[in-house]
Chains A and B, each alone.
Chain A
């Protein structure tokens, strides 16, 4: 799906490039595709309309008239506008500038991931911010909800408020704040029951909880797979509570995550974190510039680099990232990355992040080949000479035969790898050229800045 959309996009924009000048009709044609792409990515219709109107205004203006390559220009305008609409480059941290105990309230629809996120935030606050955290579940609705949070607290090695049967949510909230004050906690995380935005009784209840605790952050937890209803949910929760931040869960899935844009537009609140798994450490800062590419279906190369950074050391990740950007990524680098891939979990999701390899992802999933493809590729690269790895163009028929024999594969396999590597390099070069505020610059520099911070005895990725 990613791939089809990239193709569609480059198709239109190449069309524009050929024609040279950019007319209003050209812009409209491109924007029709953008509209469709956004709807397919589940951006809510009113938000799409608003966005398209803004981009049209910018695109048909003078900026574009001087453009050397109008197609690229439109692509850049769309991407920049989307990044901006999502909150601009860089992540927005939790607001912890308040006297302790700092109350943080988590709200959202049923099953969106509130309780899990509460556990993840607790771990993060304890390990990265070195705060004393108290977890409290105000969920008296769902069976075993309070026990669920208590178990997560154990995993996060933080304290959870003792469960008192029969207490109402508002009472539990007050008790949590009392304990927080008395026992000197820095942060009190309040997990609430899932509720529908149209359920008046439960919305009143959460209003009362808010009034009783006066939270510094009221985080709306939303599933990245959410469809058009995102606007209704966002509006209702925002009107009732004044949302200060959004957490987008299940970004480890393959949903394009258009709900992010809907949420941001309706609440105006920054998206602060994204959930990337069920485990307690699977919470990432939210980087708008990466999700923009995902919503437009352009792949998430920075996400790939960052996930690699969790397993490879920072220097190596930085080196690979720079090379990817410059387009000087060699087969040697690719082999180094393949080695890490085994450690990085789901193959399909990683391959899906590599631009231009969307088709491979589908194939891998269809054939259920799993890791064997990459093992084979590693074998092929290791049968090459150093010179061959650095300059794959010198690999002609006889060298191919030798490499195939050496790696126990066929010449077809070797060809396939070379072709794939070539496609990958082309894609990377294209992305690198997208300009200063292009697709990934912001993301990478942000990543590098964080990597540097990591050197100051506060490891960014302790897990």
Chain B
């Protein structure tokens, strides 16, 4: 476990370097228009978007304008400001123990990390002595089934798969029936990546849900949207459409071990308030962490993360 923590720290401190570079220029000086503009640009460069960055800095100006501040003070209070926005959405993912199984549908645009995240979640549940079952619902992409099967082997979790080009909804239905019979704790359904602007593909997802409900009318109990931290402003449109079409209950933000900051999450928290359950910090099974508002905000403004507890 220490391994992936330090890996995250590595990732974050790299970002810290970059952002601190921008902020160092305003160390120990009057927080004037020019300094505030630099801060605003730092936020824009972290993908918060021009509008959100402007609003946050406007707030900041109200409280801090004209004061003499050190670099550290600025970052501390800016992080606090951003953490306030993120705190309400920082909610760990919890299984409902009364569901056998708790059905989780994993959705998102292409290549964001859905399949990998399912592998990571499976490991997490296994470590909690839960019984996960994986469903290879991506019947479209080349070797998607085999990819999930390897994750099943790695995490010692059963994988239910159908034939290539099989109907994903039919497969999900069958998998749910089997998981109920086998008293599984959680059913993790992988789906093919799809762009939110493709109506037919979005309709296919709705069909999976309709068919699941024939078996269990409360299913799916969670719909996780997997977002890539390198995504820019288009993430807002992704969340809007997926939420509308399949009622997303939570987000997982992947690839935060890279140089992208994932600042769009701030805009998403403001606009949609959908819980952010976890972040992906690597390609290995152990590389999933709970989303921590303060740490994330500190990462955004280049302030070191709080020490591991």
Q: Which residues of A are interface residues toward B (Cβ below 8 A)?
A: 1, 36, 39-42, 44-45, 109-113, 115, 119, 141-145, 147-152, 155, 196-198, 223, 225-229, 232-233, 236, 250, 252-256, 258-259, 278, 345-349, 352, 365, 368, 370
Give the residue of A36, A119, A252 whose beta carbon is less than 8 angstroms from that of B50. Answer: A36
- Smallest CB gap from A279: residue in B: B140
Instruction: Give the complex CA separation of A402 and B50 in angstroms.
Output: 51
B253 to A: closest C-beta gap in Å: 13
Which residues of B from 255 to 295 have beta carbons under 8 Å from A? 255, 257-261, 264, 283
* 7 A-B interface contacts by CB (under 8 A): A143-B150, A147-B143, A155-B142, A227-B264, A229-B47, A253-B197, A255-B232
Excluding A143-B154, A225-B109, A365-B197, 9 further A-B contacts by CB distance (< 8 Å) are: A39-B50, A42-B234, A143-B147, A144-B143, A144-B147, A145-B143, A198-B14, A252-B197, A348-B198
Give the 10 A-B residue pairs with the shortest CB-CB distance, closest first: A227-B232, A111-B111, A42-B232, A143-B150, A148-B143, A229-B260, A255-B234, A151-B142, A144-B146, A144-B147
Query: Which of B18, B110, B112 gathers most chain A CB within 10 Å?
Result: B110
Give the residue of B109, B149, B283 whose beta carbon is less than 8 angstroms from that of A142. Answer: B283
Number of A-B contacts (CB under 8 A): 158
Instruction: Give the complex CA separation of A144 and B141 in angstroms.
Output: 12
| Segment with Cβ contacts to A, from B28-36, B38-46, B179-187, B213-221 | B38-46
Query: Do B147 and A148 touch across chains, with their CB atoms under 8 A apart?
Result: yes
Give the residue of B149, B230, B237 whose beta carbon is less than 8 angstroms from that of A223. Answer: B230
Contact digits for B48-65, partner A, Cβ 8 Å, 1 yes 0 no: 011000000000000000
Q: Does B70 contact A (CB under 8 A)?
A: no
- Smallest CB gap from B50: residue in A: A39
- Smallest CB gap from B112: residue in A: A111
Query: Do B45 and A348 touch across chains, with their CB atoms under 8 A apart?
Result: no
Chain A residues, Cβ within 8 Å of B44: 39, 45, 228
Q: Does B304 contact A (CB under 8 A)?
A: no
Contact digits for B188-203, partner A, Cβ 8 Å, 1 yes 0 no: 0000010111111001
Give the residue of B140, B193, B198, B258 whose beta carbon is less than 8 angstroms from that of A197. Answer: B258
Q: Does B151 contact A (CB under 8 A)?
A: yes
Query: Which of A109, A148, A225, A232 gathers most chain B CB within 10 Å?
Result: A225
Instruction: Give the complex CA separation of A236 and B109 in angstroms.
Output: 25
Q: Does B228 contact A (CB under 8 A)?
A: yes
Instruction: Give the complex CA separation of A349 and B257 in angstroms.
Output: 33
Query: Do B258 and A109 touch across chains, with their CB atoms under 8 A apart?
Result: yes
Query: Which of A112, A115, A196 gathers most chain B CB within 10 Å?
Result: A196
Give the residue of A141, A236, A278, A345 whose beta carbon is less than 8 angstroms from that of B141. Answer: A278
Chain B residues, Cβ within 8 Å of A148: 141-144, 146-147
Chain B residues, Cβ within 8 Å of A198: 11, 14, 258-259
Q: A141-B283, A225-B109 are in contact. Are A147 and B232 (CB under 8 A)?
A: no
Query: Do B143 and A111 touch across chains, with their CB atoms under 8 A apart?
Result: no
Query: Do A258 and B109 touch across chains, with their CB atoms under 8 A apart?
Result: no
B43 to A: closest C-beta gap in Å: 10
Instruction: Give the complex CA separation of A236 and B150 in angstroms.
Output: 31
- Smallest CB gap from A252: residue in B: B195
B143 to A: closest C-beta gap in Å: 4
Query: Do B258 and A227 touch across chains, with their CB atoms under 8 A apart?
Result: no
A155 to B: closest C-beta gap in Å: 7
Q: Does B95 contact A (CB under 8 A)?
A: no
Query: Do B199 and A368 touch across chains, with their CB atoms under 8 A apart?
Result: yes
Chain B residues, Cβ within 8 Å of A36: 50
Query: Do A254 and B237 touch across chains, with their CB atoms under 8 A apart?
Result: yes
Query: Do A227 and B147 touch across chains, with their CB atoms under 8 A apart?
Result: no
Give the residue of B150, B196, B233 whose beta carbon is less than 8 angstroms from that of A41. Answer: B233
Instruction: Give the complex CA separation of A174 and B140 in angstroms.
Output: 32
Give the residue of A45, A112, A348 whose beta carbon is less than 8 angstroms from that of B199. Answer: A348
Contact digits for B67-101, partner A, Cβ 8 Å, 1 yes 0 no: 00000000000000000000000000000000000
Chain B residues, Cβ within 8 Å of A42: 232-234
B28 to A: closest C-beta gap in Å: 24
Query: Do B146 and A143 touch across chains, with their CB atoms under 8 A apart?
Result: yes
Instruction: Give the complex CA separation of A258 and B261 in angstroms.
Output: 17
Q: Does B231 contact A (CB under 8 A)?
A: yes
- Smallest CB gap from A193: residue in B: B283
Instruction: Give the complex CA separation of A53 and B50 in angstroms.
Output: 19
Chain B residues, Cβ within 8 Å of A155: 142
Q: A141-B283, A198-B258 are in contact. Are A225 and B14 (CB under 8 A)?
A: no
Query: Do B234 and A40 touch across chains, with their CB atoms under 8 A apart?
Result: no
Query: Do A227 and B111 touch across chains, with their CB atoms under 8 A apart?
Result: no
Which residues of B from 144 to 175 have beta carbons under 8 Å from A? 144, 146-147, 149-151, 154
Chain A residues, Cβ within 8 Å of B111: 110-113, 223
A195 to B: closest C-beta gap in Å: 9
Q: Does B241 contact A (CB under 8 A)?
A: yes
Give the residue of A144, A254, A278 whose beta carbon is less than 8 angstroms from that of B197. Answer: A254
